[in-house]
Amino acid sequence: MNSLLDFYIGGAWVASEGGRPHRVIDPSTEQPVTEITLGSRADVDRAVTAARTAFDTFSQTSVDDRIALLDRIVEAYKARIPDLAKAVSEEMGAPIGFAQAAQAPAGLGYIMGTAKALREFRFSEQVGKARVVHEPVGVVALITPWNWPLNQICAKIAPALAGGNTMILKPSEEAPRCAMILAEILHEAGVPAGVFNLVNGDGPTVGAALASHPGVDMVSFTGSTRAGIAVAQAAAATVKRVHQELGGKAPNLVLEGADLATVLPPTLQGVLANSGQSCIAPTRLLVHDSQADEAAAVAKAMFEATPVGDPAELGGHIGPVVNKAQFDKIQELIQSAIDEGATLVTGGPGRPDGRNAGYYVRPTVFADVTPDMRIAREETFGPVATITRYSTRDEAIRLANATEYGLSAAISGDPADAATVAPRLRAGLVTINGWSGTIGTPFGGYKQSGNGREGGKYGIADFMELKTIVGEPA
C-alpha cells in the first residue's frame, strides 16, 4: 500500500497538524491501495498563508515568465504519464490502457491549451479614454473530483498559474495519488514556493474551510450540484468568487430518419467510456417513435459487446466504478427503472457474470423510459443508457431541456439539420455525432450545472479580475 501522509505547502512536503488517516480503496479488489491524511483547518490555514505570501511576488511576474513556466510543466508532465496513469487506474478503476491514452493525457492537454491561450491573451484594452486591464484574482481554492482527476485538476491549475494567481488544491480523497505526483511535477518544473499548495481532505472539513476562508479570494469547484451548493453557501459570507462545474444529465437527441448504425455508436461510446463516470455522458437517448426499436437494438448490440474487466489488464474493456457508494447508487437507480415500468433491454442489477468482488456494473440499456422516472432525472454516473420516445421535433427539444442540468447535450443525425437544433438546446456544450469538447473552447454549464467556464482564453479570464483605469497620460 502506498503511504502518502504529507501535504505540499510552501514548496515542501510537511506533516499534517491534527489530520487523520484515510485509506483509498482499489475499486477492482475492494482492498486498500493508498493511505493519505485527511487534513484539518490548521493545515488549510498554513496553506492559505503560504499562498498569500507567494502572491505578492508571483502576481507581478511577466506573461513571458508564466508561459515559460507552463512549458516546463508540460515537459515534466510528459515524463510522468506512466506514473500518473498507474495511480488513476489503481485508485478510481480506469483500465490502464484507457488511463494511459485518455485519463493522464487529458490533464496535459489542458496545460498545453492554456499555454497557447496565454500567448494570445489580451491583458489590456483601451476603451475610450480608459484602460481596462485583467489582473489576478488572488489566492484561489481548487476543489476537484475523482472521475477525470487530472483533467479537472489541470483545468484549474493551468489558468490559475497563467493569470498570476496562487492556489491551494484539495483533490478528491478517492483519487489523491495522481494529484500528489502532479505536485512533484510542478516542483520539478520550478513553480515558486507557495504558489501551488496541496492539502488532502474531505469536503466537510478541508473543503468547507477553504470555501469559507477569509484569506481565499476565489473557489473553483467541480463536483456534484449538491456539493456545489454547499460550497457556494460557505463562500457567501466572504463574498468570494465561486466558479462551479457541476452535475449533468445529458440528452442525446436522435434526429428522425438518422442512420442509427452510423451515428449512435460515437455518442453511445460516451456512456460506456470511463464506465459512464463522465458528467457529459449523453445517457438520455431521445428517439423518434418510428426508430425506437431500432435504437434499442443498436444500443443492445454495442453494450453487450463491451466487456467489463480488470483495470490492471490491457484491452478494450471498461473497469469498475469508483466505490461502494457509487455502485450502490447505480444499482438503486437500475432497480428503480425496473420497478417504475421501464423495459430492460440488456444488463440489469448486479455484477457482470464471473465478478464476485469489485464495484463492477453491467452495461445496461432501458427502453420505454418516461421523463418522470428517476433514471431519466437523476445523474446515474455509470454505464447505463435510457431510451425515451418522441413524436415531434418540438417535443424532442422540450424533453432534451426538461432537466435541472445544462452541462452538455448531443445531437445524432445529419450535421446540417443538427446545426438548426443546437441553438435551442439549453446546455454549455452541444456536440453533433460525438460527445466530447475541443481544447481551447469554453467548458461549463447552464442552470444547475454551474457557473463560469474552463478552457483556453475563457478559462484564463475566469481567474482574473477586471480593473478600469481612468486618467492615465496619453
List 173, 174, 279, 454, catalytic entry: 279
Task: Identify how many contiguous H helices and E strands the chain contains and give both numbers.
Answer: 16, 23
Instruction: Tell me, yes or no, if 91 is annotated catalytic.
Output: no
What is the Cα–Cα distance from 442 to 440, expressed in whole angstroms? 7
User: Is residue 36 a contact partner of residue 25, using CB atoms and an 8 Å limit?
Assistant: no
User: Is residue 264 a contact partner of residue 295, using CB atoms and an 8 Å limit?
Assistant: yes
What is the Cα–Cα distance from 430 to 452, expressed in whole angstroms? 17
Element (H, E) at 53: helix 41-58
Instruction: Tell me, yes or no, if 188 is annotated catalytic.
Output: no
β-strands 20-26, 31-38 pairing: antiparallel
Query: Across the chain, which distance is largest between two alpha carbons, in Å?
Result: 76
Q: DSSP 3-state assignment of 209?
A: helix
E-strand stretches of 201-309? 218-222, 241-245, 251-254, 284-288
Residues 6+ apart with CB under 8 A from 322: 27, 92, 93, 146, 147, 174, 175, 277, 359
For 413-447, the DSSP string reads S-HHHHHHHGGGS-SSEEEESS----TTS-B--EE
Q: DSSP 3-state assignment of 148?
A: coil
Number of Cβ atoms within 10 Å of the Cβ of 228: 22
List 174, 245, 379, 454, catalytic entry: 245
- Catalytic residue list: 245, 279
